[in-house]
Amino acid sequence: MAADGSGGGARKPISVLFVCLGNICRSPMAEGVFRSMTKSDTRVATIDSAGTGAYHEGSPPDPRTMSVLEENGENGYDHQARKIRISDFKDFDYILAMDADNLHDLLRVQKRIVKNSGIHAASAKVMMFGDFGGRGGEEVIDPYYGTRDGFTIAYEQMTRFSKGFIEQVLHGVGVAPS
């Protein structure tokens, strides 16, 4: 990938896809936070989010996701839930899962793509978003069935993970988790 930090020349801007189960709580929150943090950063080209399931396809984010984003100054975020696509594994440099189940599902799909289409059809780095939070493998618990407090906790995690990603991947401090 051109965004891997190797070589001495200018790198192409990276693309990042955040993934949870239904794409209405965690991954759109991660997308909103990351968009806000990188809005003027030319090293980031594309930011999106998706779900491993199509349960809420076409729906806006959960109102609790939106209220926590707005409460923290993340205004004007617009999103419609979608399911992960095979093309995402080629179109994005990083696909970041919110929990181990999402990661397992994504790796299974990626393995199937590689088997059926070849390695170049699935070149994205698939990993846990929580690997960038300082506690390897940290998961974002799905707040959907809980109270609004779960969304506040998720927001705090998204902020910490986004800062870690920016520091490790964009600024090249330390080594990006593998």
Active-site amino acid positions:
20, 26, 142
Give the pair of three-digit tokens for residue 63: 């109102």
Give the largest CA-CA distance in the chain.
Answer: 48
For every residue of 42-88, DSSP letters joined together read TTEEEEEEEESS-TTTTPPPPHHHHHHHHHTT--S------B--TTH
Burial label, 93 (beta-carbon count in 10 A; 0-12, 13-18, 19+): buried
Q: What H or E segment, with its residue span, contains residue 97?
A: strand 94-97
Q: Where are the alpha helices (DSSP H) in the chain?
A: 26-38, 63-71, 88-91, 100-117, 148-165
